[in-house]
Structure 1
Amino acid sequence: MTSLVLASASPARRRLLAAAGLEPSVVVSNVDETAVTAAALETYGELVAEDVALVLARAKAEDVADQIDDAIIVGCDSVLDLDGEIHGKPSSPAEAISRWRQMRGRSGVLHTGHWVVDTRDEAQGGTGATLGATASTTVHFAKLTDDEIEAYVETGEPLRVAGAFTLDGLGAPYVIGIEGDPSNVVGISLPLLRELLMEVGLQWHELRTSAHQGAQGRRDS
């Protein structure tokens, strides 16, 4: 069986994978996002939003891959591009309120970087590959009132997610439409991940079968 490891603390990403038939284990990376971004800027110069997401996803996946053998490691990171400004998670309620006042009635692009590292043994089909890509989805926000913004921020949800909103939670009523892959907005693009896994010789249904067999084995033990 192939072990899939999600290098992310996001419960939404794990739920998406589980709903699609996979059962990843979770190992959260020790990556300092600020330091990684600063190092990338120094090395490559100015980065666009999709590059920032990919750099962070790679750092997270490779950090966990250094700790775990014989697995497929998946790292993700999401940022929101609003008029060329890059936004991750708000650092405070005040920042979340200010962000939503910018976003309301407008559109942004949610970029999620994905990085896959194959640490499986060669005898078990391992490739040693490390590769990634970014998925981008345009999000159209409702024109919220100040009261709605403040009430939403009071829930705490906007502080826990990139872009200060969710598509699958309390923020759903405030998103009036999207253009692109909805799973990407939730946190992990299932179609893109499928393509990346195929690059390392794995088909989605094989991982789904592996997850089912693992779950059955745990029930029988």
Structure 2
Amino acid sequence: MRLLLASASPARRTILRAAGIEPLVEPSGVDEPALLAAAAAQGPVPAAEQVLLLARAKARDVASRAGVEVLVLGCDSMLELDGDVLGKPDDAADAVRRWHRMRGRRGLLHTGHWLVRPGDRAEVGATSTTAVTFADVTDAEIEAYVATGEPLAVAGAFTIDGLGGPFVSKVEGDPHGVVGLSLPLLRDLLGRLGVAVTDLWTLDRPAVPGAADDRTG
């Protein structure tokens, strides 16, 4: 059994690889704005539900074309600040405005996860929520960070595993969820489908814990 990631996110792929899982990758073709607009037409949709809605749509889209020998995982992330939901910035100016608003503040990073087993159409999902406190960064730091282009490619306009790391003062919850994929939550979802996370390990591992890691002192 292999894990098929319904996302082109390099960060999510890196998280899985570091955990011993070499995923197959097939980005979905879901029209995210249209899907959210349709949901909003029925009434307000909380951020934690929006990311789950998108994760489910992505996983189901890719699963509809996948074989029975895989498990399909869809994910989506958004930052919630003062009740407002923030995905990727529209452009550099938007990213700068967001950082002026975010600095010195605390937000909630929601990441939806949806797992589908095409063989029997079993599916489960849940959302990881982590509190993130941003540093009181200067105007010059904001301009320099946005100029790198990194904030334009990620939900919430920040990272904790890249150039944005120094600008995040505190993380309360699972840091993997902030990067884009919660490993503990993935383990729980797999278990609900009767699959152990160790069954998905594909990378070589040392035969003895610590055998390849000389940090015993």
Q: 1:70-219 alignment to 2 at 5 Å?
A: 70=68, 71-120=70-119, 127-208=120-201, 211-212=202-203
TM-score for the superposition, normalised by structure 2: 0.91
Deviations 1:42-98 (A, max 9, x none): 24x101110111001111111101111211000000000000000000010000000
Partners of 1:67 and 1:107 lie apart in 2 by 40
Q: CA deviation at 1:165?
A: 0.2
Which runs of no fewer than 5 residues in structure 1 stay unpaired?
A: 121-126, 214-221
Q: Structure 2 counterpart of 1:86, which letter?
A: V
Equivalent position of 1:11 in the other structure: 10
**Higher helix content, 1 or 2:** 1
Q: Secondary structure at the match of 1:30?
A: coil
Instruction: Please state whether the residue corresponding to 2:41 is helix, strand or coil.
Output: helix
Q: Take 2:141 and 2:109, find their aligned partners in 1: how far apart are those partners?
A: 22
Q: 2:59 aligns with which of 58, 61, 78?
A: 61
1:8-29 CA distance string (max 9 Å, x none): 1110000000000001011000
| RMSD, aligned α-carbons | 1.0
**1:161 partner letter:** V
CA distance in 1: counterparts of 2:178 and 2:203, whole angstroms:
26
Corresponding residue of 1:28 = 27
Amino acid at match of 1:196: L
TM value normalised by structure 1: 0.90
Q: Which residue of 1 aligns with 2:214?
A: none
Q: Shift in Å at residue 41 of structure 1?
A: 1.7
User: 1:47 aligns to what?
Assistant: 45
**Equivalent residues of 2:107, 2:133 under 8 A apart:** yes
Q: CA deviation at 1:128?
A: 2.1
| 1:218 corresponds to | none
| Number of aligned positions between the proteins | 203
Structure 2 segments unaligned to the other structure (5+ residues): 205-217
State whether residues 151 and 158 of structure 2, in contact with CA within 8 Å, keep that contact through their aligned partners in structure 1: yes
**Offset of residue 212 of structure 1:** 3.9
Amino acid at match of 1:174: F
Question: What's the offset of the Cα at 1:131?
Answer: 1.6
Q: Distance in 2 between matches of 1:5 and 1:39?
A: 27
The 3-state SS of whatever aligns with 1:202 is: coil
DSSP-derived class of the 1:86 partner: strand
Distance 2:123 2:34 in 1: 21
The runs of 4+ residues in structure 1 deviating greater than 4 Å are: none
